[in-house]
Structure 1
Amino acid sequence: MRTVDVARESGYSVQQVRDLERLGVIPSAARSSNGYRSYTAAHVQALRAYRGLAGAVGPVEARQMLTELRTETIAVAAAAIGAVHVRLARERDEALRAQQALRAIQGETDTSEPEQEGDTMTITQLAAALDVRPSTLRFWEQEGLVTPERVTSLRVRRYGLAAIRAARIAAALRASGYGIPAVRDIMDSLHRLDGPGETRRILQRRLDDIAVRTVALLRAGTDLAAVVTSVPGPSAAR
């Protein structure tokens, strides 16, 4: 196949095909004696796989992944693709928990039952639940996004239900691309009568975006499988 043929089949421009070959996204094309590139159907599949993967994780990570997949065993390559599915599922679960937290915040009243000991989390537990570093929670505390309780004798941070809910919403907003000042403004608005409306819309857009990325990955499934099964087997020399 000529470069123009691959471009037509993959939906990329001729220059994009050449650029993605140069970046290692697709294997290097064979060269004829006169220097012309010669591609195969495998190059088209790799380009389609890249399109779907880029829609799921972004172009930079997709380029890196596809470059690495071709040098890994089939087991490692398949696991890497599976990890993307797991990540998207986790992002969706966290966005849904943020929605639940928002509903809980809206439903809170002064007559709420007091929190029990089992309702609190340590900074390590909360960081693990949100898939962030403990240092991130400390930074959010400094910025006024999440306020923990403290065990006064040891100065150990403990987070009650209100703080856990706020942390889930803050995490979802940050994952949606909102900067700290914007997140602070949104968090400050939650207890106003009209405040939760915009947060609800942001979280729904987050879920919609995750759904679009998931569909992009699913559409790339056959082409990604072709890329993965073209890598060396478990017994191949590394």
Structure 2
Amino acid sequence: MRPIDIARKLKLSTSALRNYEAQGLVPPVERSAGGYRLYTAEHVAYFTCIQAMSPGFGMEVTAEVVRNVQARQLDAALWRVNEVQALLQRDKQLAESNMRMFCELDGKQTQAESGEAWLTIKEASRKTGLPSSTIRHWEKTGLITTTRDPQNGYRLFNRSHIRKIMLLQALRAQVYSPTVVELKNAIAHMREDDVLEARKIATDSLQYLHRVNCWQMRGIHALYDLCRLVKLVE
């Protein structure tokens, strides 16, 4: 098949096809006497798989999987896919937990109303189950803004900070997308005592994870078709 025909079929640019080829994501391509690329049905299956998998799995994982398929390492490819799906399941459970937590809160509940003490970063890490390095990274990138102890300069976290961390945690494993960026920005700019906004973000995050689940299903379907074509599965 001609590159332009494949590009039109998959709604990709021919430069994208060449880029995938240059990265070794498809098998070597033979050339005609005139120097034109001669793509086969196998190449089309690889391109289709890459296009289908990348929205739900990201290009890094997709590239790893298709390279494993080329090396005929089926188990490695399938377990890598399974690993990403397990992370999505974990994020879904976190998002559902956030939903329940915010639904149980009445309107706006401030730090003063709760009477909860300030937490150090070590305590915040223990409470959320996240490494301190991850929390520091989110602070460095502006997703959370902590308070500093006036006496020793240590980071201090209140209930609002913990809520933001938990909302971010439910998106931690998700690949870059405009929606993920939008959700993280909403978390970063969420008012400290606005439980209703936190509830909305938790709802939107869960809905996004549902969509990712569908994208991953489409990617797995294309991966199966590819593996069947190259006779890795029956």
TM-score (norm 2): 0.67
Quick check: 1:170–1:187 contact (8 Å CA) kept in 2?
A: no
Tell me, in whole angstroms, the C-alpha distance in 2 between the residues paired with 1:3 and 1:186. 47
Q: Which residue identity does 1:186 align to in structure 2?
A: M
Match of 1:4 in 2: 4
Once the two structures are TM-superposed, the CA of residue 177 in structure 1 deviates from its matched residue by 3.8
The yes-or-no answer on 1:198 pairing with 2:210 is: no
Match of 1:27 in 2: 27
List per-residue Cα deviations over 1:45-94 (Å, max 9, x = no partner): 21221122211133354334433543361111111111222222222111
Once the two structures are TM-superposed, the CA of residue 23 in structure 1 deviates from its matched residue by 2.1
Tell me, in whole angstroms, the C-alpha distance in 2 between the residues paired with 1:91 and 1:231. 34
List per-residue Cα deviations over 1:20-65 (Å, max 9, x = no partner): 2112222221223332211122222212211222111333543344
Once the two structures are TM-superposed, the CA of residue 140 in structure 1 deviates from its matched residue by 7.1
Match of 2:112 in 1: none
Which stretches in structure 1 are left out of the alignment for 5+ residues? 110-114, 116-121, 147-158, 234-238
Partner SS, residue 105 of structure 2: helix
Q: Which residue identity does 1:201 align to in structure 2?
A: K
Q: Which residue identity does 1:36 align to in structure 2?
A: Y
Match of 1:155 in 2: none
Quick check: 2:21–2:28 contact (8 Å CA) kept in 1?
A: yes
Tell me, in whole angstroms, the C-alpha distance in 2 between the residues paired with 1:44 and 1:209. 29
List per-residue Cα deviations over 1:193-231 (Å, max 9, x = no partner): xx2232222222212222222111212223212444648
Quick check: 2:29–2:37 contact (8 Å CA) kept in 1?
A: yes
Match of 2:134 in 1: 136
Match of 1:186 in 2: 190
Partner SS, residue 106 of structure 1: coil
Match of 1:169 in 2: 167
Percentage of pairs with the same residue: 22
Which stretches in structure 2 are left out of the alignment for 5+ residues? 110-115, 117-122, 148-156, 175-179
Q: Could you tell which deviates more after superposition, 176-185 or 20-29?
A: 176-185
The yes-or-no answer on 1:207 pairing with 2:206 is: yes
Q: Which residue identity does 1:168 align to in structure 2?
A: M
Quick check: 1:78–1:228 contact (8 Å CA) kept in 2?
A: no
The yes-or-no answer on 1:88 pairing with 2:91 is: no
Tell me, in whole angstroms, the C-alpha distance in 1 between the residues paired with 2:205 and 2:82. 22
Instruction: Name the Cα RMSD after superposition.
Output: 4.1
Quick check: 1:7–1:14 contact (8 Å CA) kept in 2?
A: yes
Tell me, in whole angstroms, the C-alpha distance in 2 between the residues paired with 1:100 and 1:69. 41
TM-score (norm 1): 0.66
CA spacing shift, 1:163–1:181, aligned 2, 3 Å:
closer
List per-residue Cα deviations over 1:101-150 (Å, max 9, x = no partner): 212333798xxxxx9xxxxxx7676454xxx323334677996669xxxx
Match of 1:218 in 2: 217
Tell me, in whole angstroms, the C-alpha distance in 1 between the residues paired with 2:57 and 2:171. 18
Tell me, in whole angstroms, the C-alpha distance in 2 between the residues paired with 1:217 and 1:184. 28
Alignment: residue pair count: 208
Quick check: 1:173–1:203 contact (8 Å CA) kept in 2?
A: no
